[in-house]
Amino acid sequence: MNELLKNAIDWMFAPTRYFLGSVLLLAAVFYFRKVVSRPIVIAAVFALATGFMVWAVRDPNFHKIITKGDNIPIVILLASVVFFSWLALRQAVIHDERKKRGELGPEHELGKQKVFTWPDLVYTEFICILLFTALLIVWSIVVAAPLEEPAASARTPNPSKAPWYFLGLQEMLVYFDPWLAGVVLPGFIIVGLCAIPYLDPNPKGNGYYTFEERPFAWVFFWVGFVLFWVLFVILGTFLRGPNWSFFGPFEFWDVHKLEPLVNVDLSTYVWVYGLGRNLPTNPLVREAPGIIGLLGFFVVIPPLLGKTLLKGLVGRMGFVRYNVFMHLLLWFALLPLKMLLRWTVNLKYIVGIPEWFFNV
Amino acid sequence: MQKLLQAVRDTQIWRSIFRHGYPDTPRNRTLAVLSNTFLHLHPVKVRRSGIRLSYTWCMGGLTFFLFLVETITGLLLMFYYRPTAELAYQDIIGIREHVALGVMREAHRWAAHMMVITVWLHMYRVFLTGSYKPPREFNWNVGVILLVLTLLLSFTGYLLPWDQLAVWAITVGSNMARATPFLGHEGPGASLLSFGGLNFVHAGDDARFGLLAGRFVGEGALLRFYVLHCVGLPLAAATLMAIHFWRVRKDGGISGPL
């Protein structure tokens, strides 16, 4: 029974199911947000998670990974992201419900009152600091900081992992080459975050929790932060073992686990499988299908949507802002797109010019 | 006892430090905040909606607090640590085995991990409450840079124990720089920057070389990361934090409905 359950969980956590399951869960959370935002739900989630941990930690493989010193923060990250997402959603639901009834939301009601910084704010800060100091001291005494063997540049550990907060980027290496996953896309994340205040044309929801006044912004950030960033960090930490192969939570990290490499470039699909001939020698001709496809993606989609579905948005944002917004969004969409193509048709590169280190 | 306390409070020394009575009247509460260097980061009065824990999650404040913890524990660790390839690992062992109250490295490491988490959650909260909207656009940007600096601080610190975990994590992380377009020797476009078969961008002068002061994670990288970790990045972060906090005040305090 135990083994069956463990195997089922290992099966469930394969990247495709893990990711698509998370997407469905997120959609359900937003759709059923009135139910989800009840306190009993979060209490049940944490009770279940605690029960799962107590049961799972007796498994030697699970125990080994979860109790690594540097992995404890990731458990804290997961728990706090779940809790605070719920807390935010709850307050948003309360605000939206009250607004529908023509009442003031909690922030609007309390925002008119002013209180003295001393004692109201100072005491909250003081208690937070006190609790956190206690937590840090206990944690430092109980768990030793990891220290492995002295550095040896001749012995490469397998797996070699970046610090945990960058494991989301390392996980992106499965789908993109380093120049995209490690340089260009992180650069776009930073630029995109900076651009948010200048690209959001919605004046509502400034200084209070609300979902219904800015649904796109909320869904966008939950997808970007919770679904991609946090879940990728967890995937990269707990479910990626030697050779960056996938391992279920209860699976032994076997160095010899083989995953067949069957990925095929788009150019091979078109020239060899589609047209039944050899690959052209000129890389630009060879990669023409991918290049045309990418150009179409970036050049055709923004004006096409701007003329049709998003006409109102162009009017509100103006031409330049709309285009910056669309291009950032399309770069973001490139990741799930590539993931889907990899999972469904084993696509390796849309454009693959290894001669120039230019692979997309 | 009461009299003794009163006598202490009446001394010239006490009165030179605290220029107001116990903060239980509006006047004294105002003075308590206004006449204190640290508390005057806050306004005298704040919106009731903004100070609820359920609203702010206290994540910004905790991030700042953890920065202070890192400064203090990091300062203590610097007494015992020498950033050279021969001595670094040995000193880390020494901090664990021979230094009294030897949990400073633990405190430093766990607080660093927590700081990464609190700064992410702070950004999450600020986004979900729409607090980046006018007039706070600029301060959101300062915050994004501070978030990046937090990650860089943690990344540079990760190398210092000089064990297998540290060296290979930094190797994996810094390998990305090889692929920087035009600036890394395995990046797209780098091969275009050549003249007569001579490459301008190669393993000995590309972005990764600049980051590591060498072709691999070695002594040069250790010193470079140490200086950045202990001096360069904290100075940059402290400067930006001053701007960040000042702008919170200037832009209307903790956000709330307009």
Model confidence pLDDT, tens digit, residues B185-216: 888 888 788 777 788 888 888 889 988 988 88
Alpha-carbon span B121 to B129, nearest angstrom: 12
A357 near B CB under 8 A: yes
Taking a C-beta distance cutoff of 8 angstroms, is the pair A216, A199 a contact? no
Contact state of A147 with B163 under an 8 Å Cβ cutoff: yes
Q: Do the domain assignments include residue A101?
A: yes
User: For residues A59-91, b (16+ Cβ closer than 10 Å) or e, as one string?
Assistant: eebbeebbeebbbebbbbbbebbbebbbbbbbb
CB-nearest to A128 from B43, B58, B173 is B58
In chain B, which residue's Cα lies nearest the Cα of A114?
Answer: B47
Contact state of B130 with A198 under an 8 Å Cβ cutoff: no
pLDDT digits (tens, 9 = 90+) for B82-91: 999 999 999 9
Contact state of A114 with B129 under an 8 Å Cβ cutoff: no
Asked if A187 and A217 sit in the same domain, the reply is: yes
> What count of other Cβ atoms lies within 10 Å of the Cβ of residue A152?
12
CA angle B199, B205, B206 (to 5 degrees): 85
Cis check for the bond before A283: say yes or no (omega within 30 of 0): no
Please state the domain count of chain B: 1
Residues 157-196 of B with CB under 8 A from A: 158, 161-169, 171-173, 175-181, 184, 186-191
In chain B, which residue's Cα lies nearest the Cα of A123?
Answer: B51
Alpha-carbon span A111 to A120, nearest angstrom: 15
Contact state of A110 with B130 under an 8 Å Cβ cutoff: no
Tokens of B160: 């210092």
CB-nearest to B154 from A152, A165, A170 is A165
Q: Do the domain assignments include residue B181?
A: yes
Q: Do the domain assignments include residue B124?
A: yes
Taking a C-beta distance cutoff of 8 angstroms, is the pair B237, B146 a contact? yes
Contact state of B163 with A148 under an 8 Å Cβ cutoff: yes
* pLDDT exceeds 90 at position B1: no
- Nearest CA-CA distance, residue A304 and chain B, Å: 29
Q: Which CATH number is B89's domain given?
A: 1.20.810.10
A15, A20, A21, A25: CA torsion to nearest 10: 140
Question: Under DSSP, is residue A350 helix (H, G, I), strand (E, B) or coil?
Answer: coil
- Nearest CA-CA distance, residue A229 and chain B, Å: 10
A103 near B CB under 8 A: no
Alpha-carbon span B117 to A313, nearest angstrom: 34
Q: Which stretches of chain A drop beneath a pLDDT of 50?
A: none
Asked if A72 and A208 sit in the same domain, the reply is: yes
Q: Do the domain assignments include residue A152?
A: no
pLDDT digits (tens, 9 = 90+) for B135-187: 999 999 999 999 999 999 999 999 999 999 999 999 988 888 888 888 888 88
Contact state of A198 with B131 under an 8 Å Cβ cutoff: no
Q: Do the domain assignments include residue A220?
A: yes
The structure tokens 């045309």 sit at: A292
Q: Do the domain assignments include residue A349?
A: yes
**Per-residue pLDDT at B55:** 93
Average pLDDT rounded to a whole number, residues B111-118:
96
Residues of chain B contacting residue A92, judged by C-beta atoms under 8 Å apart: 128
Average pLDDT rounded to a whole number, residues B76-81:
94
Tokens of A339: 């993931």
Q: Do the domain assignments include residue A226?
A: yes
Asked if A170 and A312 sit in the same domain, the reply is: no
Q: Do the domain assignments include residue B187?
A: yes
**Per-residue pLDDT at B137:** 95
Asked if A271 and A239 sit in the same domain, the reply is: no
Taking a C-beta distance cutoff of 8 angstroms, is the pair A151, B115 a contact? no
Task: Identify the CA nearest to A88 among candidates B24, B68, B131, B43.
Answer: B131
Taking a C-beta distance cutoff of 8 angstroms, is the pair A151, B167 a contact? yes
Asked if A220 and A331 sit in the same domain, the reply is: no
Asked if A279 and A195 sit in the same domain, the reply is: no
Asked if A240 and A270 sit in the same domain, the reply is: no
Task: Identify the CA nearest to B255 among candidates B164, B158, B161, B128.
Answer: B128
**Per-residue pLDDT at B187:** 85
Q: The domain containing residue B124 runs over which residues?
A: 57-250
**Per-residue pLDDT at A176:** 93
Asked if A135 and A11 sit in the same domain, the reply is: yes
The enclosing H or E element of A115 equals strand A114-116
> What count of other Cβ atoms lies within 10 Å of the Cβ of residue B88?
23
- How many Cα atoms occupy the beta-carbon half-sphere of A276 within 13 Å? 0
Residues of chain B contacting residue A108, judged by C-beta atoms under 8 Å apart: 49, 257
Please state the domain count of chain A: 2
Asked if A117 and A219 sit in the same domain, the reply is: yes
Beta bridge partners of B93: none
**Per-residue pLDDT at A112:** 82
B81 near A CB under 8 A: no
Q: What is the pTM of this model?
A: 0.94
Backbone CA torsion sign across B82, A156, A16, A187: positive
B87 near A CB under 8 A: no
Q: The domain containing residue A305 runs over which residues?
A: 266-359
How is A120-162 classified by DSSP, letter by letter?
IIHHHHHHHHHHHHHHHHHHHHHSPPP--SBP-TT---SS---
Asked if A105 and A183 sit in the same domain, the reply is: yes
**Per-residue pLDDT at B231:** 96
**Per-residue pLDDT at B21:** 86
Taking a C-beta distance cutoff of 8 angstroms, is the pair B122, B58 a contact? no
A169, A172, A173, A178: CA torsion to nearest 10: -60
Residues of chain A contacting residue B144, judged by C-beta atoms under 8 Å apart: 190, 193-194
In chain A, which residue's Cα lies nearest the Cα of B257?
Answer: A207
Task: Identify the CA nearest to B142 among candidates B233, B63, B235, B244.
Answer: B244
Beta bridge partners of B198: B195
**Per-residue pLDDT at B190:** 81
Q: Do the domain assignments include residue A169?
A: yes
Mean pLDDT computed over every residue of chain B: 91
Question: Under DSSP, is residue A253 helix (H, G, I), strand (E, B) or coil?
Answer: coil
* pLDDT exceeds 80 at position B12: yes
Residues 211-240 of A with CB under 8 A from B: 214, 217-218, 221, 225, 229
The structure tokens 């359920």 sit at: B54
Q: Do the domain assignments include residue A261?
A: no
Taking a C-beta distance cutoff of 8 angstroms, is the pair B79, B104 a contact? no
Task: Identify the CA nearest to B151 among candidates A7, A279, A229.
Answer: A229
Q: Do the domain assignments include residue A167?
A: yes
Tokens of B191: 């091969």
CB-nearest to A163 from B137, B155, B176 is B155
What secondary structure letter does DSSP report for A103? Answer: P
